[in-house]
Structures are given as structure tokens and as C-alpha cells.
Amino acid sequence: MINNKHTHFIIACFCAVAAFAVYLSFAGGDRNYAYASIGNGDGQGEMANYKPARKRHLSARLRKDVDQILDLSGHDIVQIFDKPELVRRDLPTTIWQYRNDNCVMDVYFTVDRVEDVARSHVAHYEVRQRDTRAKDSVAASDCMQDLVAHDTMISLIDINAIFKAPAQ
């Protein structure tokens, strides 16, 4: 016979799965379209998505040493940080900008053609605080960690965080 605690746990699991399904339905479907639109000037090309383990490996490299970003290609950057909020093209330089409430990161590529950004390595990057009046500077590692796309991180849920009931 299933006791009351087990019933509540099963209901909580079902609700979590249902909430995740609702989130995916509103998330906009196939995220590969954003990657493809960065890969080619005409938006018709496709870039393969990395497996989650590869994304986590790349973001872990950046956590250890932010200058590792200079070893990454445009495709790697899109996989880690997702689609940039702003793209500026003044060939031979292309700048991708990522930002949140606290900081801004500009990633510079030097390319001959717009289509080459996905294969090119990062030439330079800059991180700054979003509020120009703030006296403290932002650490590059903190900013990059805040900007990493959420699907590159592992999320583990503690069962006790879902259901806390007195022992019977």
C-alpha cells in the first residue's frame, strides 16, 4: 500500500514534468534556427548543435580561465552563450554582443566574409559593467558565467526541496 508521503511525491514529480512540458511548448520550438541564422548571411545554412556534455566542457574551460575564449570559434560561442543580442558587421571585423542586467561582453571576430564567423576564432573580447556610473569593475569570469546559456548547465533537484513533510 502506498502511504501519503509517496502519493505526494508522485504528484510532485508529475507536476514537475508537466511544468517542464509547458515551458518547452512556450520556449519557441527549434532553437537551431537561431544558430543557423548566425552561421550564414542568408540564414539558410545549418550548424549542428553540440551535445550537452560538450557545452558543459566548453563553459567549464571558461570558468577556469576566461582567456580560453580566444581559443573558441564562433560556433562554440553560440553553443555556450546562445544567439548574441547585437551583431555589428564592419568587415573585416564582426562584433557579437551579449548582455544582462549587470554586464556586457563584446566578442570580436576578424573575417573576410560574414559567412566565416562561425568557423573563425575569437580575435578579442571585452567585458564591462552595464552601469557606466558604477565605480567597481566587473570580473570577466563572473560576467561570462552569468551570460552562459541556461541549457549548458547541469541542474539537479533535491527531492527534499520538492517535498518537505514531517515524518510519520
No. of helices (H) and no. of strands (E), the chain: 6, 4
Share of the chain above pLDDT 70, in %: 71
Residue 137 has pLDDT above 80, yes or no: no
Please give the pLDDT value at position 166.
Answer: 54
Show the cell assigned to 162. 520538492
List the domain boundaries for the chain: 4-29, 50-152
Which helix (H) or strand (E) element contains residue 93?
strand 93-99
Q: When comparing pLDDT for 145 and 40, which is higher?
A: 145
Q: Mean pLDDT in the chain?
A: 77
Q: Is residue 90 packed enough to be buried (19+ CB in 10 Å), middle (13-18) or exposed (0-12)? A: exposed
Please give the pLDDT value at position 95.
Answer: 95
Mean pLDDT throughout 86-106? 92
pTM of the predicted structure, to 2 decimals: 0.61
Please give the pLDDT value at position 143.
Answer: 87
* C-alpha dist (Å) from residue 164 to 8, 15, 16, 34, 167: 10, 16, 15, 40, 9
Q: What is the pLDDT of residues 140-151, one digit of tens each?
A: 888 888 888 765
**Sheet of strand 86-90, all strands in order from the earlier edge strand to the far edge:** 86-90, 93-99, 103-110, 124-129
